[in-house]
Structure 1
């Protein structure tokens, strides 16, 4: 996969087999190939040794073992991937701007910039960046928040300078323009920013269009945003700048005064929560001064907005962070927890105790789908478990097929909500099931995944990225459990493309609507991500939540595939790639400038 053009240009380093005779590139119109170079493996290895010795050592081990894929991926991870902290150097080698030959948009753009006099210098920087815009039909309303405006004449007729009017409505501030946006003092737009935003809005008939930004604090850092993610937007306001909202969309909002600049910012954030046609331009088009958000100040605005729209969700502060809290239905729906298992008393005894004794959810049943257990101790455990009316043991005496095991459990389950749970999972928080159910019963949600940790407490699962590692993979594996993630997204529930079946909740109705797991194509691997993507194709989004926390040993009962199992894995990987090629090209919740080679949020 070629990296995204977050800065207008990109560099790619790849491995060429010895019998390679040519390269074909699939690219959009306007693609320009500036330079091609051929490097020896020795030179790339030397660079890896200097940059990341640990990965160079891993590459050497793979090379000696003749593992070509691991060899090339280790070298790429060392030489072609940069940590986010090295963004300035990464940017310096990629920035490129060519004069656009596209026809200009005819859209009128109105921007509002509230600021106190003390930030006049920063305001001047913002005005200067507007005057360099290739899109000329814009106007700026500078609203001074601490008194009358300066008496000096405006340097540009498109700039209006007044005092902040607390009685002004959003409609009045927008001034009837085709597109409306909010700036902060010090925002510096790239010259092509308004042009690209306006053209994208026209092409997609969007209600809002936004792009990426960088923040200029002690060090320059990027803010690489996902495509439209409503839950994440409501909780974190990640959209930021630059962003333009369609005037006809604003016209449909209540004409209420916005008494403070903070209220204006939150009002715009919340207003677009109901938007359905939102376009993201994965390109850095604005530099902003960093501002520390105050979740406690945002929470009341968000809560009032949720109540006014009739949402059952409420704004909640968890550990100092703002999140959306969804209520548990009353009465609580029956949940069927489906656990495929075979032998391994140490695993099945622990997980059944955790479900039956450490999970206070009021209405649950446990369905163990047994795949031919023979250990006497396990069979004795089953006999004891059958005494509990909440437990059912469903035999599945056939060759191992994880998807078929899950489907067999779903057929006999009585619950309105199905929760798939691996036998190598341990409960860490008693409210885990409540949290999953509150998300799963939302009409717009399909699958829900949990935060899973390794036994040592490091991250194992915080959602899957399609395309990672070639097909799909878990992001940020083996990072500390409190890792916030880019844009602090790991602190709140948000949309992802897929979650693991090690702990996955879904309503029975939605499970049946897509035909359950595909046991013919994905007997062992990729079945959960394929399931999530099929739900997505039907209009149901997948959500990952950090508030359901469990421990997962990850395939400890099955081991790593070798021999015939490895061949089966490769067949399923090829089938997944063929079915979901478009999502592999672009996972909407993972920025295209981030690496698909490594398992961290690093720059490609």
Structure 2
């Protein structure tokens, strides 16, 4: 196509991928359509080989724009639009490709149409890069969502890749281009805005290669970031989600469900085959083991014969060869089994189900009016689950239980021991019952009757159940044991009303709560009373907990920290088992109506306004049952609980005159309390450095470009720098009003250089920051300030990520990995563990000095960092002094930065730092960190279960570090 054809601009946004860009340019040059221009926007990446790119493009003109720093994809896209000369504009990612007829196909589609927008189809390509040979291997995976345009479908999901589209330049300019608030899904947002007024034409022809890189080659986005911007899309376009969209979703769900059921049938066939194969293979392996055992005996006999009869080596060699053949056979069978398992795990059914749930929960948020419409109109009948997952055996936890928990003899001893407690309070167990499953009800009752501590009473209130077995079972148990009190109500007053009626029956000094389908461990009350005998002044006791699956197996333990008031503002981590002094409950009036699903959260929040005498028993004393109707298995079963919890938290804050509001947290029933700033304090950001100008430049650029809070100063302290490029860079920025540069040309000492920096600053708030950090979240300063300005808080730390988006820092546990370690380190950005979520605001003993905020008055009260520490340990030491002085140390996951660790200084830590650390940390290394859990490992940072031999290993690590080993 030549002559009077309109010019088409192809915008390519790129960063640090010059080799891939060459492939992209080649696909542009191969287009059959002319005239075209390539608009390449380098978004703060490395220098590009422009002349080589021009050579690849040939007669395609190149319009090259280099941005001095990384502004993000939306900004780069808008820059490309601004510089494009074409009447029409296409986009091409720097790792995708066009087929030769792409542009000509799209131009033909928009010619003569009023709506100057069209799209073609894309072939999904799995691309693998072999780093050893440099070869690229492509595998076609099928066409990407090929169907005509539907605005309702587009609201549901972005099924049109940007690379398949052509727009008139006017349409893009009129739309305002990409919304620069979106770091992800900016193309989806743009398309939703444009296609609301202009309907695109669809050409059912594959003209684009849509590349999916293998895991080793790709740079993937963090799940938490995807969720954040997915939510942002739906919030921005929420007015477009109407009944038609919901009905359409129902149709899609039905279609996908049919597909899922077909996949499920295939899955079950694979499961059966897998199980049968395992059984056959196990038999073969046992046979092989017998043969190997017999062969070993034969080898021994042959060896004896060689000594006595000088038999030739041939017999022995034949036997060994036979064994090698058997080994090879077994290895082949294991390999085949592994391939079968891989097929099963990657079956489409799992992916389809995940997709359906994700779309459903975004379009129909739990607790919303749309959810109510959906339940009444579209999904009126509650259906039982048609699929039960394969039982997963948690061998590690089962083994831990067998070692750590009391056996039958120990339980018997507890009964005797408890009779000699000097303090033997009655504990009233509140258990509201309603239509409970027969077996679950009996298990619940038996768990109480089997307690090794005997001074209890069970107060059961039945909310007018219509299941006949309820009355029979409860009556039978109450006759057998006078400690079991039962009241049958004439109507159901709800969970709060029924529980309050049970409270009226209680005569105990302490009260605890047991759901009608859960269980207590037999030693639960014994452990509670044992603690009360040591600390009789305590008002509230809580414990660790786990779950029981539908087969009766214990799983998913939650090991909690000691009393953590800020963690409770994120999630009701106390939950089960919770024991409260009765006069506290009486003073607050028991449960309140209107908090269903979160009535226990509301209760504990009102209790902590009355007392701070709270203790944690680090033992699993409560089993939360998982079944189809329980939140233990699916939190969305009671999605109203989230809003009830938010309401309870708002009222707690208001009732305690805390100037804050409540937002949603990272998941259901997780929250974020936003403390409102009463002033606009100046923050002095203190950054020591030595040379490495590019590292420093990346850090400073990220602060200046991304920080939404503007009242700060940067105190840059050069420590014996010598590189000319570094000084040239400092000269280029020294005139910026927020930057002050100082030189500290003495031997590096982390404590001394930061103390020096404080003296040069004048901010009300201090932020100690490593030069090898890079800001991710724009409101990082506000997220730290909101805690630092609270009078009870001494220091605040943030979430730091390694460049691969795994956790570098999410709090410090003293005693972890020897001296002090970063809990959750090397785990995913949104990890959930035996210790809970990395995305909870938490109390800790310490946070890292790589990014730590303190008020100046607090820092001066402590007289700064201890300069006896040279390189490592003074950040933890100052935090421990804060704790001793009555301050809290807070970690917030909502301030997020990258940490390119140890890019400036070396990694060798002086022995003296270890010895000083031991002197300061010893109390917590030997006695335990209260904000961790003693059942969790201190050898690793993944919150896995503690191993038996850990103490000896940790002792050896410490002694070696101090030069004693």
The alignment's TM-score, normalised by the length of structure 2, stands at 0.51
* SS of residue in 2 equivalent to 1:201: helix
Query: Of residues 651, 661, 681 in structure 2, which corresponds to 1:314?
Result: 661
1:391, distance to aligned residue in structure 2 (A) = 1.4
Match status 1:144 vs 2:462:
yes
The reply to whether residue 410 of structure 1 matches residue 758 of structure 2 is yes
Contact 1:296 1:317 survives alignment (8 Å) = no
Q: 1:283 aligned to 2:283?
A: no
Q: Which runs of 5+ in 1 are unaligned?
A: 1-82
1:509 corresponds to 2:839: no
1:450 aligns with 2:798: yes
Indicate the RMSD between aligned Cα atoms, in angstroms: 2.4
Q: Residue 25 of structure 1 corresponds to which residue in structure 2?
A: none
- What is aligned with 1:545? 892
Q: 1:171 to 1:517 in 2, by over 3 A?
A: farther
- Which of 909, 912, 917 in structure 2 is aligned with 1:571? 912
Structure 1 residues 221 and 85: alpha-carbon distance in aligned structure 2, compared to 1, 3 A threshold = farther
- Tell me the residue number matched to 1:225: 560
2-side partners of 1:84 and 1:516: how far apart? 47
Question: Where do 1:124-523 residues align within 5 Å?
Answer: 124-147=442-465, 150=471, 152-153=475-476, 154-155=478-479, 156-162=481-487, 163=489, 165=493, 173=503, 175=506, 177-204=508-535, 205-217=537-549, 220-254=555-589, 257-258=592-593, 262=597, 264-274=599-609, 275-290=611-626, 291=632, 292-293=634-635, 294=639, 295-321=642-668, 322-520=670-868, 522-523=869-870
In the superposition, relative to structure 1, how do residues 197 and 532 fare at CA in structure 2: closer, same or farther (>3 Å)?
same
Q: Give the structure 1 partner of residue 29 of structure 2.
A: none
Of 934, 938, 944, the match for 1:602? 944
The aligned runs of 1:107-118 (5 Å cut-off) are 107-118=425-436
Per the TM alignment, residue 551 of structure 1 is displaced from its structure 2 partner at its CA by 0.4
Work out whether residues 830 and 837 of structure 2, in 8 Å CA contact, stay in contact via their aligned partners in 1. Answer: no
Which residue pairs with 1:584 in the alignment?
Answer: 925
Does structure 2 retain, via aligned residues, the 8 Å contact 1:168–1:258? no
SS of the residue 1:361 aligns to:
coil
Q: How many residues align?
A: 515
CA distance in structure 2 between the aligned counterparts of 1:297 and 1:309, rounded to whole angstroms: 19
Q: CA deviation at 1:553?
A: 0.9
1:95 corresponding residue in structure 2: 405
SS in 2 for 1:576: helix
TM-superposed CA distance for 1:431, in Å, is: 0.9
**CA distance in 2: counterparts of 1:381 and 1:577, whole angstroms:** 41
Q: CA contact under 8 A between 2:564 and 2:842: conserved in structure 1? A: yes
The 3 A distance-change label for structure 1 pair 159 and 120 is farther
The question of whether the paired residues in 1 share the 8 Å contact of 2:797 and 2:811 is answered with yes
Tell me the CA shift for residue 261 of structure 1.
5.8
CA separation in 2, counterparts of 1:263 and 1:596? 33
1:114/1:261 contact within 8 Å kept:
no
Bigger CA drift: 157-166 or 432-441? 157-166
Cα offsets for 1:505-560 (capped at 9, x unmatched): 1111111111211112x121011111111111111111111111100011111122
* Higher CA-based Rg: 2
Helix, strand or coil at the partner of 2:645: helix
CA contact (8 A) 1:169 1:257 kept: no
Answer yes or no: is the 8 Å Cα contact 2:666–2:839 preserved in 1: no
CA distance in 1, matches of 2:811, 2:696: 25
User: Could you say what secondary structure the match of 2:615 adopts?
Assistant: strand
Q: 1:255 to 1:196 in 2, by over 3 A?
A: closer
1:194 and 1:395 mapped to 2: Cα distance? 62
Q: Could you say which structure has the greater relative contact order, defined with CA pairs below 8 angstroms and 6 or more residues apart? A: 1
TM-score (norm 1): 0.80
Moved over 6 A (4+): none
Q: Which residue number corresponds to residue 78 of structure 1?
A: none
2:444 and 2:520 in contact (8 A); partners too: yes
What SS does the corresponding residue of 1:468 show, helix, strand or coil?
A: coil
Shift of 1:262: 3.3
Partner-residue secondary structure (3-state), 2:547: strand
